[in-house]
Homo-oligomer: A and B are copies of this chain.
Amino acid sequence: MLEIKRLSLAEAAILIEGSRRKADELGIPMCTAVTDESGHLITFERMDGGKVSSISIAIDKAFTGAVARKGTHVYNQLCVPGKGTFGIHVTNGGHFSIIGGGLPVTVNGTIVGGVGVSSGTADEDLLCAEAAIDYFRQQTGFAE
């Protein structure tokens, strides 16, 4: 029998808060989503003024971070015509995101969820996703 580690709602809410703090600092109202290790949504928030088109993008980034197990910005660089991974952006019913801002959330080397951020540039989105994870580590004490 497998034993699975999975983010709780309370832990997911910490990730959202970490993203929001960085978004406030950047002055960009972000959409942030957190999924469990299976890619299913735990919690989501769109800050006042966040883009409507970023709702599904943030959710897709969190999904991809959790289940494809790499940052979406990594896939962005792999998914270039002529490289072997090209085409992955249209898989999974269009929910495989290759735009930076999606990250796996690990605890002791195990992926326990994913976080995805959207509304800024891919670089700004990634900053917020990283800040979410930093804040999560700081608040929970969990190691990578």
Interface of A toward B, CB cutoff 8 Å: 1-9, 11, 13, 36, 38-48, 51-53, 55-57, 60, 64, 66-69, 73, 76-77, 79-82, 84-94, 96-100, 107, 112, 121-123, 142
Within the assembled complex, what's the spacing in Å between the Cα atoms of A126 and B124? 28
Q: How many copies does the complex hold?
A: 4
Interchain CB contact under 8 A, A91 and B53: yes
Which one of B39, B53, B55, B94 contacts A90 once the chains associate, using CB atoms below 8 Å? B94
Q: Closest B-chain residue to A36, C-beta based? A: B38
Does A1 contact B7, Cβ atoms closer than 8 Å? yes
Bound-state Cα–Cα, A6 to B48, Å: 10
Task: Note all chain B residues with C-beta closer than 8 A to A40.
Answer: 38, 46, 52, 55
